[in-house]
Amino acid sequence: MAHQSPAEIELTTALRERSADKVKALFRADLIELQTGKGYDYRDAILWFILPIDCTRRIGLDPIAVLRPLLSGSPPWIVENFDGLVGIPDPDLASYGYELRWEPSGPAYWSFDPDEKSARLKAMLDGLDARPSDIHQR
């Protein structure tokens, strides 16, 4: 069962309004949480970064130019995860547990239930074992 979290609602608004400022505000808040919260790791970064990266692209901007400057001073593992994700030219949101729905009021980000999201992320990360990248080994 899909649902919308507060972050997905905010990114939906940013997408519909084509607002880079709203995407950056949410991305900045996620960065603070990743760096100060307890128990977060690369998997959280992957899940939290994919939608702002996707949204930035959909509004016609380069996520490297818009979001990467906000990583200044972040731990290397956060920067490396961002760089790895932004290097994927057209990621399949469903692989990360998300979908983009077209509603009467415009596009909207939704996420799958947590169990399904975990299963999808695990399957995607297992598939990365053959890749030369070390993004999944953090």
Give the relative orientation of helices 42-58 and 114-127 as an angle to the nearest 10 degrees: 90
Identify the pLDDT of residue 6: 87
Sequence length of the chain is 138
Calculate the average pLDDT of the chain.
84
Domain that holds residue 104: 6-137
In a domain, 133, yes or no: yes
- What is the band of 109 on the pLDDT scale with cuts at 50, 70, 90? very high
Query: H helices within the chain, ranges in order?
Result: 6-17, 20-36, 42-58, 63-66, 76-86, 114-127
Q: How many structural domains comprise the chain?
A: 1
pLDDT computed for residue 107 by the predictor: 95
Beta bridge partners of 102: 107
In this predicted structure, what is the pLDDT of residue 127?
A: 67
Residue 109 lies in a domain: yes
Contact present, 58 and 15 (Cβ < 8 Å): yes
Q: Which residue has the tokens 């994927």?
A: 88
Structure tokens at 97: 């547990």
Max Cα distance, the chain (Å) = 42
Contact call for residues 111 and 97 (beta carbons, < 8 A): yes
Q: Are 99 and 110 in contact (CB under 8 A)?
A: yes
**Does pLDDT of 132 surpass 50?**
no
* Residue at 1 is within a domain: no
- Do 97 and 110 meet the contact criterion of CB atoms below 8 Å apart? no
- Of residues 83 and 47, more confidently modeled: 83
Residue matched to tokens 């979290």: 5
In a domain, 56, yes or no: yes
